[in-house]
Structure 1
């Protein structure tokens, strides 16, 4: 028997790559004999981590160039599913390493415990992706062979069984993973990444049980989310990226664009300057470039719903704030808003840097001969009248910025939501220990119970708003709507863009060839409500038809 494995990319702080050459036709009889063998085999697991562009257009806050059948509810059961196939392939690889670790020479068992733990993490990660998409699925905790009929032809495990298996895997992995913080063996798993996954899983399943299963054991799961997130925060190893001292209000946006050696910002900061990332999909512009795009490419167009979520600078929603200036002018709705709005969205007519020469210019208003200034105006590759700025580079590619799989901001959001959903309330002290840290980072006023009561707000909605804004284009929205059981309300709504009728857009850009639908209030409509649906069956995807034909014991999800 021969193994075909490929090593993943891991980058140290100085961007040295480890084991980048493919391993061809390694004999099972001679492999898995040294610590290096296990490390190299484990490297391939990291290629399964999510990356930029992992499905954020499936929900309602952004529209891709091609309409998403997931978003509008027009998809049907398919013969195969990449989600199913890829995750079970990953599970097989992880299970194989765990099996071989049990057979390894006694003198390396302690040394390879870390790689066994990594395999358990990725096996849990894959089962979680299956759980989110399909609900209960067959649990695979060993390498399948011809004698594995109980799994190959057995029924689905229950949702509760799969969730319990995932958390048990992580509990087994955590003690054998290093407790080091950022900057140490960058790219490889730490116990903090395993705790972050545990917190994410427990929040997802806790809220699913609360809103879909009448609270069945939801408190137990929410407690685990609170405990895991609190342990990460108490380590004091991570901190939110905040370099407003040298980058001003644009500081936060550059967190997502930092590279290893190349300067991607006016202050010349690199990856070494941040301690927010807990686990990243690592990239190097020469070896494994990032799929990041340049501004103006317009792959994801933010929707009206996202834009209206951004609070005014006084901390109030736009419908309640006297600071909101309306839509009459192109720039009016951008003024006096949460600074994340200008970090996540390209502001019309704002000047941005387009890098064309190797020399870097810190003076953004006077590029000199080394580059040009690009004037972003309406109509530049946008479907809604808005363009995504978050994670979009201003300098030329290829790019080497990492994609954060887990970062500290998410942990604060998990803690706040889990506390509120478990207790039905959250104290001001708890708010200060969680999401108010995110607001402070961008110069927004803190959230507290008195402010919520005085202004007729809803604490749950404000916590969810904070999550939706903070994690935009990080592939959380569709999962969030489903676990909150609000997808049936939010997803069928019309997808809208800028206000056109009676505004400066109509006056300034009176092009006769512009053809689009407007609603009664004069907003552009990309997809009418009549073109969208979210039925009860859409809370779970259909199992692939081929798998049901191969294993008649597998029952299709309800409604499919």
Structure 2
């Protein structure tokens, strides 16, 4: 396996504020040399460096797949792995702890309260930049909390013992705090980092601040502001990742069985679209031109476990999160660029049972992103193993309950290496999302124009698809449906669908029972509008002695 340069070294040196109390001058009462003292820390630049990296340690990574498992995109079959199974089934009570956790925010606040203690021993510009990075991260963490719970306590300082019980602030106040913070730090953070200690790629940048700001404003329906923030990112030089050629075992995959190519050029367009899309998530391409923010993983030390969570049992995985038929149905035709009429479930089941060749027709001539995302019966993947074709075995150990597995985010390189764990960085913000944010916000604000179509065309053409038909999607309403479909397939398994179905108010229509390819019930799902927000854990309300209030419906 090729070695790579590690960017941010994630450190847990600072466990929030769990440092030892002040040490005595008495020799016999010196703090242990393997622990950290409040009095001996914050004395040099390296202390601040370690502390800020300790905040980055709280960034989520491979867990984003479970957000999709709580939507119509995917099925999360193991309730002990995450809360996605309970949320998607509608079986949510106040015993659910979910994402109600302020440890990351406390870590941010502790850093910001103490970093200036090192002001005399380090460059002031660097110190201010570190503080801006942590303010960005705090905004990121608060955004995640408000997505799940709406109103939460807005805490911007380390709370002393005895003052932990604070009420929830209005969501509007928290959103204003987030947007103000992101706007402020965008003026401080650099557009990129040159490398070396303190300047590693992977740190928060100006682009990350604007991209997160655009996401926040999009979620809140602040269309003009979201489009403006996205446009700011679009002027920073990011571009969609593309490959110019296939190589290695990828060339062995036979897609002529699945796509009716018009010519050799047509086949090349398809194949390069597929390889470009799947390649941007691979370790060999991490830090590419599309990445705005990613959760850094240390090679051969800090695995992301996606190679375990996503493949099927016979591939060495657990099938923890698997595609639904509804997600499969969302991929348009490669030939026409238009939606595909799904097969009748009963007919699909009959064809599957009888091993009828017509069963496979459903997977023909689809968007290249389908083949890069979903493993279906007969799907080729020589990069995983020579001659591999996916075969679903219902009822076997660690197999999918839907008939499909995810291929996206799985890095096949490691299955042929001595170390099978996936150490690729997990992308949290990327340029394709920014283009989709711009397209949606601009369309909602002023309707279709050339810039909206251009943003969508960049995404579609990178994937090997045709440009948007301007004559067919000339109205705001029609283009809205296309933008939503593009957003779903482009960002599948990246944690965006959870909020999309809520802010678009389509959850009641899409959160339905899911079935496998045999038309057998895989999971019963019940939607209640209270699920637009998760419940504040009852244990937190009890600990707060009633100061915290509950969300409606719980």
TM-score normalised to structure 1 length: 0.78
Which of 94, 97, 102 aligns to 1:81? It is 97
Which of 125, 131, 136 aligns to 2:151? It is 136
| Distance apart, 1:449 and its partner CA | 4.0
Which of 260, 275, 281 aligns to 2:289? It is 275
| Distance apart, 1:278 and its partner CA | 0.8
**In the alignment, what sits opposite 2:28?**
none
**In the alignment, what sits opposite 1:229?**
230
Q: Secondary structure at the match of 2:375?
A: coil
Which of 510, 522, 525 aligns to 2:521? It is 525
Pair 1:403 & 2:412 matched: no
Contact 2:211 2:230 in 1 (8 A): yes
Contact 1:353 1:394 in 2 (8 A): no
Contact 2:241 2:280 in 1 (8 A): no
Which of 183, 208, 218 aligns to 1:193? It is 208
How many residue pairs align between the two structures? 470
Pair 1:316 & 2:338 matched: yes
Contact 1:284 1:290 in 2 (8 A): no
1:182 to 1:349, Cα distance in 2 relative to 1, 3 A: farther
Q: Secondary structure at the match of 2:220?
A: helix
**In the alignment, what sits opposite 1:481?**
501
Structure 2 CA distance for aligned equivalents of residues 203 and 124 of structure 1: 15
Unaligned runs of 5+ in 1: 1-11, 207-220, 261-269, 356-370, 501-522
**In the alignment, what sits opposite 1:543?**
536
Structure 1 CA distance for aligned equivalents of residues 477 and 444 of structure 2: 17
Deviates more, 1:130-139 or 1:244-253: 244-253
Structure 2 CA distance for aligned equivalents of residues 312 and 112 of structure 1: 52
| Distance apart, 1:22 and its partner CA | 4.8
Contact 2:11 2:57 in 1 (8 A): no
| Distance apart, 1:19 and its partner CA | 7.3
Contact 2:44 2:121 in 1 (8 A): no
| Distance apart, 1:107 and its partner CA | 5.8
Pair 1:422 & 2:445 matched: yes
| Distance apart, 1:399 and its partner CA | 2.1
Q: Secondary structure at the match of 1:41?
A: helix
1:30 to 1:350, Cα distance in 2 relative to 1, 3 A: same
Contact 1:305 1:496 in 2 (8 A): no
Contact 1:540 1:557 in 2 (8 A): yes
| Distance apart, 1:538 and its partner CA | 1.1
Which of 538, 552, 555 aligns to 2:549? It is 555
Structure 2 CA distance for aligned equivalents of residues 40 and 485 of structure 1: 43
1:407-434 C-alpha deviation (Å, 9 max, x unpaired): 11110111111112223x221x122331
**In the alignment, what sits opposite 1:388?**
406
1:225 to 1:453, Cα distance in 2 relative to 1, 3 A: closer
Q: Which has the higher strand share?
A: 1
**In the alignment, what sits opposite 1:209?**
none
CA RMSD across the alignment? 2.8
TM-score normalised to structure 2 length: 0.78
Unaligned runs of 5+ in 2: 15-33, 80-84, 248-270, 352-356
Contact 2:342 2:362 in 1 (8 A): no
1:488 to 1:241, Cα distance in 2 relative to 1, 3 A: same
Which of 170, 175, 188 aligns to 1:158? It is 170
**In the alignment, what sits opposite 2:105?**
91
